[in-house]
Amino acid sequence: MAVEAAESKKALDVVTLDMHQITLFTDYFVIGSGTSTVHVKAIAEAVEEKLSGAGVRLLHREGVNGGRWVLLDYGDVVVHIFHQDEREYYDLERFWRGAPRVNFDRLRERSGT
């Protein structure tokens, strides 16, 4: 749902990392980018609305006011929405390079959605 919500707002380069074997604090990272602070905030709001509507409880939120890096912690899933420049600088995908990427396109093909 987080990936779909981010993509619905045209988030760039949305990636999901499977963190099961890497860390104990979450199962997945969803990482995406926006082109401006307004875009980053809109993506984060869309994720919050979609998950809240499905009854998923937000545990912690950071960075919404700044709009450069928004973190939404849902426990099992942590969503990172970056401004493009911040994403390049922090490069979470490289930092967590041992985490396998989840291929949602392949999962969608299998389920027919």
Residue 64 pLDDT class (50, 70, 90 cuts): confident
State which amino acid sits at residue 79. Answer: V
Average pLDDT, the chain: 91
DSSP 96: T
pTM: 0.89
Q: Which domain holds residue 105?
A: 2-111
Residue 34's DSSP bridge partners are 83
User: How many distinct structural domains can be found in the chain?
Assistant: 1
Residue 72 pLDDT class (50, 70, 90 cuts): very high
Q: What is the CATH number of the domain that holds 96?
A: 3.30.460.10
Cα dist from 26 to 39, 40, 66, 100, whole Å:
26, 22, 24, 14
Please name the residue that has the structure tokens 């970056």: 82
